[in-house]
Amino acid sequence: MRLRRLELKDAPLMLEWMHDKDVVKDLNTDFASKSLDDCVAFIKSSLNDEKNLHLSITDDADAYMGTASLKHIADGTAELAIVVREEAMRRGYAWFGMEEILKKAFEELNLESVYWCVSRLNHRAVRFYDKHNFHEVKDVPAVALERYLECADLKWYSVLRGDDINIRDKVAGCRVIHIKTIPTVNAGELSYFEATHEIPFDIKRIYYISKVPEGTRRGFHAHKELKQVLFCPYGRIQLVLENKNGREEIELSDPSIGVVIEECTWREMLWLQKDSVLCVAASDFYKTEDYIRDYDEFNEIVRKSHD
């Protein structure tokens, strides 16, 4: 996945979602009446627009999957908008676009806040933002409210600079991945990943750790060659990772989040909640000789590989 400038080649796929009734049914703009020329004009105007940043969310083959925007950029704030094609839904593209555009807002454009709204009837969008822990806000800038005077029953969200939002994509240099997750109304979620599609190795072994009392610590070792994806489908587990990039921790509490460990990394796991489950997909069978259980030995190996 990538976030890049819009290109003219994106126009046909942009028009595709505009004419997709399911995608636009709860949006405030009349996209259904737009033409290919409108899309081309929009893309061209976006290239020299200082008040609005519209970027293309693409797949790994550079195909357009949706648009992530910061609109009406002024006075340290901007309005966020994300829209993705039907094909990109439930596959992590919207969240990827959201994280990347928020990074741009705070790290590159130095904004103080970003806000946006959705119709309360747009259950898919409301569920998406709520799932990612964004909260409804009441103190919305007046200029923003004025733009939506015609719209009834909106839910407003905002993120302030420094807010603890989940825009982390690395922990001690290990990739944090978003596992595809499909919600079913009032019936939970189903998460899945497919070997070699999202995971950079063939999976030879799956194991999971369960029935662990709260406060228990496990791990305290590294692997020489083994690569793993760790995720927590139930509960809350603190994962501490240490390698040549330093020592960092992450809380695993969302079934759609995983951490990929590909290099020699010391790991410690702390059960923050009783009965939390840690699942691991591993690149190889269980081999005792692959374990480094001595911290000094681990440090020596990391130091040597660093020299």
280 binds ligand T46 (CB under 6 A): yes
Candidate segments 50-58, 148-156, 164-172, 201-209, binder of ligand T46 by CB under 6 A: 201-209
- Among the listed residues 123, 132, 221, 223, the single catalytic one is 221
Q: Minimum CB separation from ligand T46 for residue 194, in Å?
A: 21
CA distances from 144 to 28, 30, 101, 128 (A): 14, 19, 19, 22
Single-letter amino acid, residue 41: A
Q: Which of 84, 209, 259, 279 binds ligand T46 (CB under 6 A)?
A: 209
% helix / strand / coil in the chain, to the nearest 5?
Answer: 25, 35, 40
Tell me which residue has tokens 């999957």: 65
Nearest-10 Cα torsion for 203, 205, 211, 214: -50
Interacting residues with ligand T46 between 68 and 87 (CB under 6 A): none
Candidate segments 43-51, 58-66, 79-87, 203-211, binder of ligand T46 by CB under 6 A: 203-211
Candidate segments 33-41, 102-110, 205-213, 249-257, binder of ligand T46 by CB under 6 A: 205-213
Q: Please, which residues bridge with residue 56 across strands?
A: 4, 67
Q: Which of 218, 253, 262, 277 binds ligand T46 (CB under 6 A)?
A: 218
219 binds ligand T46 (CB under 6 A): yes
> Measured from the CB atom, is 167 or 280 closer to ligand T46?
280
> Measured from the CB atom, is 125 or 252 closer to ligand T46?
252
Residues 6+ apart with CB under 8 A from 267: 219, 220, 221, 222, 239, 240, 241, 242, 261
CA distances from 201 to 89, 219, 225, 282 (A): 25, 22, 12, 8
90 binds ligand T46 (CB under 6 A): no
> Measured from the CB atom, is 98 or 237 closer to ligand T46?
237
Active site residue 221: yes
240 binds ligand T46 (CB under 6 A): no
227 binds ligand T46 (CB under 6 A): no
Residue 62: how many other CB atoms lie within 10 Å: 12
CA distance 91 to 95: 9
Round to the nearest angstrom and report the end-to-end CA distance of the chain: 33
**CB distance 67 to 56 below 8 Å:** yes
Binders of ligand T46: how many residues, by CB under 6 A?
Answer: 10
277 binds ligand T46 (CB under 6 A): no
267 binds ligand T46 (CB under 6 A): yes
Q: Which of 228, 256, 276, 283 binds ligand T46 (CB under 6 A)?
A: 228
233 binds ligand T46 (CB under 6 A): no
CA distance 2 to 49: 21
Query: Residue 136, Cα to own-chain centre: how many angstroms?
Result: 20
Hey, which residues are catalytic here?
A: 221
Q: Interface with ligand T46 by CB under 6 A: which residues?
A: 205, 207, 209, 218-219, 228, 230, 267, 280, 286
